[in-house]
């Protein structure tokens, strides 16, 4: 029996890592919803990212890998703000009013904001007719999702504001992604991400302190378990698996997790938290995911050219 070649073994592990990304990042929305039962918004996100970043930094240093020096801290702090504070903090805030599965569907619209930013940034990719069709279809799905609440007289304001916050989260994540692509530092992606997590966590924790959230902080068995899950599996294991998959699989393949995450999140939310799962939700999700597919069809070649500069996961949860 011939031994398994190192290349085949790496590819097999990469597929396992990709499956882990699909499963883990699809469950973080549910974990956030559970943690919010007793943990206030800014401290939930802040403690999650700061703890994950510190743990990752300790592991990297223990394995002999260097961390980014002070000269890179301003740019990493900016990325921490865009991705952890805006990209994730607003998702956590929104999940006070938006079901976890629906939040995952809306967050899947990050590619829409990415192509919109690319269209206006120098040397960015211009919008094509196909891309415009995909954008229109995706945003139509969001309208289908929020229309009943918009028509209700004041009863769905929290939900509508939550959807707006999720769009701002997508914008922050897309802006951070575009910045990292154009100002890649050549650093170990795990090391630079650890520092981004630490800076983002510090900012969020400072916000929580300024708004008096420490007095509201409490843990139950459920919320403590959810926080531990977010730190270890949602952040550290999930991101490490994402980086490994990126190194050994085509970006066009790895990016398919964006279609799997919302499906997992919607099913888990419906089964475990009795969140809405009706014809309107299914139709809206189908429109959003189809729009993403149309947009990505056009952008895969450009994304592959930028694969080496990818430094952060393309999801905000």
**Structural contact between residues 82 and 203, judged by C-beta atoms closer than 8 angstroms:** no
Is the residue at 14 inside a domain? yes
With 0.95 as the threshold, say if the pTM is over it: no
The CA angle 19-197-107, to the nearest 5 degrees, is: 55
Residue 7 confidence (pLDDT):
67
**Structural contact between residues 22 and 268, judged by C-beta atoms closer than 8 angstroms:** no
**Structural contact between residues 67 and 57, judged by C-beta atoms closer than 8 angstroms:** yes
Is the residue at 225 inside a domain? yes
Is the residue at 317 inside a domain? no
Is the residue at 261 inside a domain? yes
Q: Which structure tokens are listed for 32? A: 């956030």
Residue 277 confidence (pLDDT):
78
Among 304, 166, 311, 309, smallest CA distance to 239 is for: 311
Is the residue at 3 inside a domain? no
Residue 245 confidence (pLDDT):
87
Is the residue at 107 inside a domain? yes
Residue 253 confidence (pLDDT):
76
Give me the number of domains the chain comprises. Answer: 1
Is the residue at 1 inside a domain? no
Residue 305 confidence (pLDDT):
42
Q: Which structure tokens are listed for 214? A: 């420490």
Q: What is the maximal distance between C-alpha atoms in the chain?
A: 71
Is the residue at 168 inside a domain? yes
Residue 154 confidence (pLDDT):
53
* Distance, CA of 227 to CA of 282 (rounded, Å): 29
Residue 307 CB partners (closer than 8 Å, separation 6+): 246, 251
* Distance, CA of 29 to CA of 179 (rounded, Å): 25
Residue 151 confidence (pLDDT):
63
- Mean pLDDT by runs of 10 across the 317 residues of the chain is 64 90 92 96 96 95 90 91 93 93 85 78 71 81 73 66 92 84 70 92 97 96 97 92 85 76 87 84 82 68 43 52
Residue 119 confidence (pLDDT):
76
Residue 293 confidence (pLDDT):
80
**Domain range holding 200?**
9-309
Among 6, 20, 73, smallest CA distance to 235 is for: 20
Residue 91 confidence (pLDDT):
95
Residue 156 confidence (pLDDT):
59
Residue 34 confidence (pLDDT):
96
* Distance, CA of 250 to CA of 299 (rounded, Å): 14
Which 8-state DSSP code applies to residue 100?
Answer: H
Contacts 24+ apart (CB under 8 A), 215-223: 216/40, 217/38, 217/39, 217/40, 217/43, 218/38, 218/39, 219/38, 219/39, 220/37, 220/38, 222/34, 222/37, 223/34, 223/35, 223/36, 223/37, 223/38, 223/39
């Amino acid at each position: 029996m011939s031994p398994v070649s190192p290349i085949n073994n790496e590819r097999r592990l990469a597929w396992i890592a990709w499956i882990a990304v699909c499963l883990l990042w699809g469950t973080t929305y549910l974990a956030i919803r559970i943690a919010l039962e007793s943990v206030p918004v800014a401290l939930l996100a802040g403690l999650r990212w700061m703890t994950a970043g510190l743990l990752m930094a300790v592991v990297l240093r223990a394995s002999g890998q260097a961390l980014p020096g002070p000269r890179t801290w301003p740019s990493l702090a900016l990325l921490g703000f865009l991705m952890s504070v805006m990209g994730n903090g607003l998702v956590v805030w929104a999940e006070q009013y938006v079901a976890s599965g629906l939040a995952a569907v809306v967050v899947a619209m990050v590619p829409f904001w990415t192509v919109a930013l690319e269209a206006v940034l120098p040397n960015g990719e211009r919008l094509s007719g196909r891309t415009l069709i995909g954008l229109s279809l995706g945003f139509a799905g969001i309208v289908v999702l929020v229309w009943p609440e918009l028509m209700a007289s004041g009863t769905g304001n929290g939900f509508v504001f939550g959807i707006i916050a999720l769009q701002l989260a997508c914008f922050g994540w897309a802006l951070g992604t575009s910045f990292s692509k154009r100002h890649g530092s050549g650093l170990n992606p795990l090391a630079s991400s650890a520092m981004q997590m630490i800076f983002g966590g510090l900012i969020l924790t400072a916000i929580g302190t300024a708004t008096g959230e420490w007095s509201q902080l409490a843990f139950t068995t459920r919320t403590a378990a959810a926080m531990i899950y977010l730190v270890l599996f949602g952040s550290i294991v999930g991101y490490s698996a994402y980086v490994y998959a990126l190194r050994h699989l085509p970006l066009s393949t790895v990016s398919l997790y964006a279609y799997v995450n919302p499906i997992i999140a919607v099913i888990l939310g419906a089964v475990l938290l009795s969140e809405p799962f009706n014809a309107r939700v299914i139709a809206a999700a189908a429109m959003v995911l189809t729009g993403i597919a149309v947009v990505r069809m056009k952008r895969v070649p450009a994304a592959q050219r930028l694969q080496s500069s990818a430094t952060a996961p393309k999801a905000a949860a």
